[in-house]
């Protein structure tokens, strides 16, 4: 199965696992986000990546701009290790990492989670690429990717044992939209995937074709 097919199967299963009002809350949150201008304002193909220096899962500072000066970079933003759709995406990207690197590119993921949580995600999914911690969504905000979750969805997530205050280390209840980019050595974005619906992600085959 492709990543797109796996994501659809997971979404279909979610309807059965969390029926009724839970589905209404999640669906409304997606639709309300679609009604905003977040996609219109987000960084896209043709934009230049801002300065990005973030800690990795071990707490080491990584200068993404220095990395880009030597290699093209596939950059993906994900919500957190608590998100099953994110985990599917990360595993799928790990599977094609040799092909990404064969095309002369590096793979980097960015999450608003604290390093301790991103380390858990990296170990759980056996990721061998850098996972950077974007505290307070500072980079996501620079790139106009961050949005605030409605209170109803935050409360619903807590019934799923998802506590963003703990994982992100703040009270903002903000997340980045699903976003994947290819960054050229001059810092320009040559490919983008942006969706308000967190159940949709860039398929690795599409990314490889764009490299």
pLDDT for the residue numbered 94: 96
Percentage of the residues of the chain whose pLDDT score is greater than 70:
100
Q: How far, in whole angstroms, is CA 171 from its chain's centroid?
A: 20
Least confident of 76-90, 97-111, 118-132: 118-132
Q: Stretch 175-200: mean pLDDT, rounded? A: 97
Which candidate, 90, 89, 93, places its Cα nearest to that of 101?
93
Cα 121 to Cα 126: distance, rounded to the nearest angstrom: 8
99: phi then psi, degrees, rounded to nearest 5: -70, -35
pLDDT for the residue numbered 48: 97
Tens digits of per-residue pLDDT, 136-171? Answer: 999 999 999 999 999 999 999 999 999 999 999 999
Q: Considering only residues 125 and 135, tell me which one the structure prediction assigns the higher pLDDT.
A: 135
- Listed as own residue / partner, the contacts of 156-164 with beta carbons closer than 8 Å and 24 or more positions apart are 156/22, 156/25, 156/26, 162/82, 164/80
Percentage of the residues of the chain whose pLDDT score is greater than 90:
88
Distances (CA, A) of 198 to 50, 62, 88, 116, 182: 24, 26, 12, 23, 19
pLDDT for the residue numbered 125: 84
pLDDT interval class at 122 (50, 70, 90): confident
Q: Considering only residues 123 and 100, tell me which one the structure prediction assigns the higher pLDDT.
A: 100
Q: Where are the beta strands (DSSP E) in the chain?
A: 53-55, 61-63, 72-77, 105-111, 130-133, 146-148, 174-176, 178-183, 189-195
- Please say if the pLDDT value at position 90 is more than 90: yes
pLDDT for the residue numbered 20: 87
Q: Which tokens belong to 162?
A: 């998802």
Could you say which DSSP state residue 63 is in?
A: E
Which residue ranges make up each domain of the chain? Answer: 3-210
Q: Is the pTM of this model over 0.85?
A: yes
Domain 3-210 has CATH 3.40.30.10: yes
- Please say if the pLDDT value at position 118 is more than 80: no
Least confident of 35-39, 58-62, 115-119, 164-168: 115-119
Q: Which tokens belong to 19?
A: 């029926």
Judge whether 188 and 46 are in contact, CB under 8 Å. Answer: yes
Cα 83 to Cα 92: distance, rounded to the nearest angstrom: 14
């Amino acid at each position: 199965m492709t990543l797109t097919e796996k994501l659809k199967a997971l979404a279909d299963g979610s309807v059965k696992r969390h029926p009724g009002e839970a589905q209404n809350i999640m669906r409304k949150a997606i639709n309300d986000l679609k009604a905003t201008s977040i996609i219109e304002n987000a960084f896209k193909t043709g934009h230049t990546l801002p300065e990005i220096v973030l800690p990795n899962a071990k707490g080491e500072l990584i200068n993404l701009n220095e990395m880009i000066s030597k290699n093209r970079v596939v950059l993906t933003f994900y919500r957190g290790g608590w998100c099953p759709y994110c985990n599917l995406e990360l595993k799928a990207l790990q599977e094609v990492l040799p092909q990404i690197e064969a095309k002369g590119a590096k793979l980097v993921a960015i999450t608003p989670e604290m390093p301790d949580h991103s380390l858990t995600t990296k170990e759980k999914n056996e990721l061998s690429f850098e996972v950077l911690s974007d505290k307070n969504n500072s980079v996501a905000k620079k790139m106009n990717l961050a949005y605030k979750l409605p209170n109803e969805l935050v409360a619903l997530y807590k019934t799923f044992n998802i506590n963003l205050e703990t994982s992100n280390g703040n009270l903002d209840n903000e997340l980045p939209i699903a976003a994947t980019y290819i960054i050229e050595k001059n810092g320009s974005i040559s490919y983008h995937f942006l969706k308000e619906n967190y159940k949709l992600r860039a398929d690795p085959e599409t990314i490889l074709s764009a490299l």
